[in-house]
């Protein structure tokens, strides 16, 4: 079943440029220059229910703008868009009851009050029956591990704890389409892991369509099977996350720990050394040479440990921006 | 409708819970309101002792106009005005409107009534008390028709003010700031508490037809003092209807233009 369909979806922002300084501010009162910025340029999306999709790209690529159009916050400048058969910008009640958006940068919880109060508020706003509310609350609180902080005012919680409360609040009405905009942004590793696990568990159920944007590659690699990469408002990749590792011409990485520290210099002729730390080296080698380089290392040097890895996702994305395609 | 009434009840409850989250602040707020009630009482007592008549209006009529204006202004200020004039532009500027836009409730209702402070209703009591005092002085000799017209025209005045405030705050969607306009409107609104007889010519036309502040308190007051004509009542409804339609269109256009804020 299809959850999201977009054709030629575009968004152009217009704003007035301001010159620097007080003189510029004064001049701006009488004469301003209008600037148009194409944040999203004619993108197509087709995402089904049950998919967990990573939506990534550098800063200003158009990720958040796209999510805001999908959730009905922003009015598209062009193209067609449907989410669960609704036109998002009409913001019909049935549509809003079936979607949610979590922003890692902003909290919508009541700052002075505990999460429990906000959740009770949402129960009324979303018209959730008492028994369903209790059931959802119980399972989400367990999953997000917020049982102990449910009655603590938000201002007393850490960013990570607040973010987990936020996730529970966003899912309390059991939405079918979940938009997560950098949910692990600015939080510690332990909380990020918990949130990742939370999303993963939710995704496994197969009843939801989850679209996740993140700067943390671990979020994408561990949670999303499908990946969409957007750059300068255009989609540059849409496919399986694991297929990205088979990009044409992208080198493998080989980590080796040698017995002899002086041997490190000689290993350099086998490939490009990109990191050196005592007896440990990180080599970059062409994919077709990876096996032979490993054999040569094992045959000619005293190797304590060796591993061959796919390039990190950051590198892969970089190469897509450079114009390479999966082979 | 029931759904939104329940949400309104929650707004009131949450406002009270927030005030009580800081106990010393809560008690100081109560004390502040009581002091304000006392000052209001002394102010009107002083006016009553020094002034006998203003323009064509007798002192009792001026008091009724003033009390009526104060009540309308008060209801407006504790409900939609503070939300639309000050809170909404902040939400638009910071992009926090996003989180309200994804909730399955009418966004205009949310934006108009989100911050309701139950403590403010304490300040409403002296306004009501003052109105009761003026009615006592006048002698309560009104017909049912006059009283009904008065109440209906007061509700009409609130709807008109809602439309005006909405139009001004909607400007924030384009300019991300509308405090200046809200302040100008606030000051202009105060004109509504004076008898229109103090204006003539151009300004009289402006305050009757273009910025119909005459509808806020003067027409309801006149309706109570003299039997109002149907023509006057229809004029009031007509003006409010036009302003309401225009403001809703403006609101819709504003939403289309909403840019949110970068994260």
CA distance B85 to chain A (A): 21
User: With an 8 Å Cβ cutoff, are B258 and A153 in contact?
Assistant: no
Q: For CA atoms B204, B205, B208, B210, give the dihedral sign.
A: negative
Of the partner residues B95, B104, B262, the one whose CB lies closest to the CB of residue A126: B104
Which of A205, A221, A245 delimits the end of a domain?
Answer: A245
Mutate to test the interface with A, among B11, B95, B103, B105 (most CBs of A within 10 A): B103
CA distance B98 to chain A (A): 6
Instruction: Quote the pLDDT of residue B33.
Output: 56
**Given A210, A226, A245, which residue is the final one in a domain?**
A245
Residues A190 and A232 in one domain: yes
A284 DSSP β-pair partners: A253, A272
Same domain, A81 and A216: yes
User: pLDDT tens digits for A69-110?
Assistant: 999 999 999 999 999 999 999 999 999 999 999 887 777 788
Residues on chain A touching B96 (C-beta within 8 angstroms):
106, 108
Model confidence over B170-201: pLDDT tens digits?
988 888 666 777 778 888 887 777 777 777 77
Does the distance separating the beta carbons of B10 and A124 come in below 8 Å? yes
ipTM (interface predicted TM): 0.77
A133 and A182 co-located in one domain: yes
pLDDT (tens digit per residue) in B38-77: 675 676 567 667 766 666 777 788 878 888 888 888 888 8
The answer on A272 and A186 residing in a single domain is no
**A258 and A124 together in one domain:** no
**In chain A, which residues have pLDDT < 50?**
327
What pLDDT is recorded for position A327? 46
Whether A13 is covered by a domain: the verdict is: no
* pLDDT tens profile A282-324: 888 887 888 888 888 888 888 888 888 777 666 777 777 666 5
Q: What is the pLDDT of residue A127?
A: 93
| Same domain membership, residue A157 and residue A124 | yes
Q: Does A324 fall in a domain?
A: no
- Chain B residues in contact with A117 by the CB 8 A cut-off are 14, 17
* Total of domains in chain A: 2
CATH label of the domain that carries residue A224: 3.40.50.300
Q: B205 falls in which pLDDT band (50, 70, 90)?
A: confident
All residues of chain B having their beta carbon less than 8 Å from the beta carbon of residue A74 are 258-260
Do A167 and A224 reside in the same domain of the chain? yes
Which residue has better confidence, B150 or A250?
Answer: B150
Identify whether A33 is part of a domain: no
Range of the domain at A220: 2-6+44-245
Question: What was the pLDDT predicted at A324?
Answer: 58
For B210-247, how does the pLDDT look when each residue is reduced to its tens digit (9 = 90+)?
A: 778 877 888 899 888 887 788 888 989 999 999 999 99
pLDDT at B102 over 50: yes
Q: What is the 3-state secondary structure (H, E, C) of chain A?
A: CEEEEEEEEEEEEEEEECCCHHHHHHHHHHCCEEEEEEEEEEEEEEEECCCEEEEECCCCCCHHHHHHHHCCCCCCCEEEEEECCECHHHCCHHHHCCEEEEECCCCCCCCCCEHHHHHHHHHHHCCCCHHHHHHHHHHHHHHHCCCCCCCCEHHHCCHHHHHHHHHHHHHCCCCCEEEEECCCCCCCHHHHHHHHHHHHHHHHCCCCEEEEECCCHHHHHHHCCEEEEEECCEEEEEEECHHHHHECCCCEEEEEEECCHHHHHHHCCCCEEEEEECCEEEEEECHHHHHHHHHHHHHHCCEEEEEEECCCHHHHHHHHHCCCCEC
> CATH no. for residue A286?
3.30.70.1150
Q: Both A109 and A191 in a single domain?
A: yes
């Amino acid at each position: 079943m299809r959850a999201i369909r977009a054709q030629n979806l575009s968004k152009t922002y217009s704003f007035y440029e301001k010159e620097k300084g007080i003189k510029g501010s004064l001049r701006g009162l009488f004469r301003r220059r209008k600037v148009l910025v194409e944040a999203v340029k004619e993108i197509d999306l087709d995402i089904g229910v049950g998919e967990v999709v990573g939506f990534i790209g550098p800063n200003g690529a158009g990720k958040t703008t796209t999510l805001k159009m999908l959730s009905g916050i922003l009015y598209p400048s062009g193209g067609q868009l449907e989410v669960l058969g609704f036109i998002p910008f009409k913001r019909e009640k049935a549509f809003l009851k079936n979607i949610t958006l979590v922003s890692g940068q902003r909290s919508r919880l009541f700052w002075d009050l505990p999460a429990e109060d906000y959740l009770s508020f949402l129960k009324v706003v979303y018209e959730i029956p008492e028994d369903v509310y209790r059931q959802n609350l119980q399972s989400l609180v367990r999953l997000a591990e917020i049982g102990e902080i449910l009655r603590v005012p938000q201002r007393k919680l850490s960013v990570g704890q607040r973010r987990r409360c936020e996730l529970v609040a966003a899912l309390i009405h059991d939405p079918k389409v979940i938009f997560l905009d950098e949910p692990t942004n600015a939080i510690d590793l332990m909380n990020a892991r918990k949130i990742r696990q939370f999303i993963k568990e939710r995704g496994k159920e197969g009843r939801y369509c989850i679209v996740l944007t993140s700067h943390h590659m671990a979020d994408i690699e561990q949670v999303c099977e499908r990946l969409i990469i957007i750059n300068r408002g255009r989609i540059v990749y849409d496919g399986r996350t694991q297929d990205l590792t088979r990009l044409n011409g992208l080198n493998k990485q080989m980590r080796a720990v040698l017995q002899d520290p002086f041997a490190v210099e000689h290993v350099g002729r086998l490939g490009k050394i990109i990191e050196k730390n005592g007896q440990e080296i990180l080599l970059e080698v062409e994919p077709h040479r990876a096996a032979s380089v490993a054999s040569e290392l094992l045959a000619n040097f005293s190797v304590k440990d060796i591993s061959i890895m796919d390039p990190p996702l950051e590198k892969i994305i970089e190469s897509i921006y450079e114009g390479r395609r999966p082979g | 409708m029931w759904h939104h009434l329940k949400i309104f009840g929650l707004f009131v409850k949450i406002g009270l819970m927030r005030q009580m989250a800081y106990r010393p602040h809560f008690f100081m707020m109560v004390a502040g309101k009581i002091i304000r009630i006392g000052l209001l009482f002394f102010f009107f007592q002083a006016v009553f002792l020094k002034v006998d008549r203003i323009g064509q209006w007798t002192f009792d009529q001026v008091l009724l106009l003033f009390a009526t204006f104060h009540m309308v202004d008060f209801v407006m200020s504790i409900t939609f005005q503070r939300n639309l004039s000050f809170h909404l532009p902040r939400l638009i500027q910071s992009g926090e409107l996003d989180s309200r836009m994804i909730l399955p409730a009418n966004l205009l209702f949310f934006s108009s009534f989100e911050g309701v402070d139950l403590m403010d209703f304490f300040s409403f009591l002296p306004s009501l008390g003052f109105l009761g005092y003026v009615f006592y002085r006048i002698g309560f000799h009104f017909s049912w028709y006059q009283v009904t017209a008065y109440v209906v025209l007061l509700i009409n005045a609130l709807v008109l003010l809602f439309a005006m405030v909405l139009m001004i705050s909607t400007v924030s969607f384009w300019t991300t700031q509308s405090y200046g306009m809200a302040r100008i409107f606030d000051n202009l609104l105060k004109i509504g508490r004076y008898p229109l007889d103090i204006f003539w010519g151009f300004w009289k036309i402006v305050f009757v037809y273009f910025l119909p502040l005459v509808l806020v308190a003067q027409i309801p007051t006149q309706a109570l003092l003299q039997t109002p004509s149907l023509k006057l009542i229809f004029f009031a409804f007509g003006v409010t209807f036009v302003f309401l339609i225009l403001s809703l269109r403006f609101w819709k256009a504003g939403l289309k233009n909403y840019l949110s804020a970068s994260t």
